[in-house]
Amino acid sequence: MSPTKIKVIDLFCGIGGLTHGLIKEGLDVVAGIDNDSSCKFGYEYNNKAQFIDIDILEVTADRINQLFGSEKGTIRVLAGCAPCQPFSKLNLNAITEKQLEPLGKFAQLIAETQPDIVSMENVSDLAIKNKYPAFESFLKVLTDNNYHYKYEVVDVSEFGVPQKRRRLVLLASKFGEIQLIKRTHKDKRVTVRDVIKHLEPIKNGEVSKRDPLHRSRKLAPINLKRIKATPHDGGSSNSWSKDLILDCHKKKSGKTYRHTVYGRMSWDQPAPTMTTQCVGLGNGRYGHPTQNRAISLREAAIFQTFPKDYQFLPSSEPIVINKVAKFIGNAVPVRLGSVIGKSIKEHLSKNYEGRT
């Protein structure tokens, strides 16, 4: 069976991290759907796939079926990462029904369009038994529609992503048992040193003359003092003088949280989880291992395994750090997309051979 016969629609596609990984494995991604129109250029330019700017709640089964087409022998894959903020540990507010609608809509489209294979990626907390009825409902839809499925929480660094990032990955199929391929880097993780040591040094707030994406956000004077006072290669705020410690971190309730922010990355470990705030020093351990700055957009893109030629904005448009950081942090790591693509192909080689 030719890989070109595998057609994919990527729901909640964003800038195209998952799509790009699937395309690298030879899958035909026919369209990405997202309601963030600012992703349209980057998605289409890099993936040569159609970007459909629409709210997922307005997508109909007829639209999905039209995009897949009616060519005989085509394997139809519906993939996506529903917005994960409601299920994140960082979300301290009560989850509203409105926030759960995208995941429910994903399940509805599965039931109405009956794709051959489903892929879903989300935050690891979704796997906590009986914690999120919306996820239990999603699984029930799969069961009721005769899908074999398996989900697991993976640290993507075990697949060669240079980043500690625990995610739930679910695969479902009409054809038989399906699961992710075996871990490729369980015994040897790709480290910060492996992927960014070669980049030219830049200063706080500076832009590389060779690479416009290799730029760091200019730190406030107090934060520049903090990073300078932080030991190289994995250092934290433990070494700061009292005048540098935030008032909220001096309280008993803030002492534990204090060690999760304003730290430097370690050269010989994978990077911490990339988020939309990953280029800010106070939003995590996003300090460069040795240079007195937070990581650059280029470094964040590398940790998310975007290739160097991936273009997030038109060349004529100025680079706004917050905008590009959002594209990068919201994305599925490209390499994880490749792993999902490999898993689908491996599954089909065992379960689809001989079908017509």
**Token pair recorded at residue 345:** 């192909």
- Single-letter amino acid, residue 315: S
Distance from chain centroid for Cα 89: 16
**φ and ψ of 314, to 5 deg:** -60, 145
**Chain Cα centroid distance, residue 249:** 30
Nearest to 174 by CA among 106, 113, 127: 113
Nearest CA-CA partner of 11 in 117, 73, 103, 98: 103
- Across the strands, what pairs with 325? none
**Environment class of residue 300 by beta-carbon count within 10 Å: exposed (0-12), middle (13-18) or buried (19+)?**
buried
Are the beta carbons of 244 and 224 closer than 8 angstroms? no
Biggest distance spanned by C-alpha atoms of the chain: 71
Separation of alpha carbons 201 and 98, rounded Å: 45
Q: How far apart are CA 93 and CA 111, in angstroms?
A: 30
What is the rounded CA–CA span in Å between residue 32 and residue 52?
Answer: 6
List the structure tokens of 313: 């904005």
Q: Is 84 a catalytic residue?
A: yes
Q: Which entry of 13, 39, 81, 84 is annotated as an active-site residue?
A: 84
258 in Cβ contact with 230 (< 8 Å):
no
d(C-alpha 136, C-alpha 178), whole Å: 19
Q: What single string gives the DSSP state of each residue in 165-208? A: -EEEEEEEESSS---PPPPSSSSS---HHHHHTTSPP--TT-B-
Q: Which residues of 87-123 are buried (b: 16+ CB within 10 A; e: fewer)?
A: beeeeeeeeeeebbbbbbbbbbbbeebebbbbbbbbb
Known catalytic residues are 84
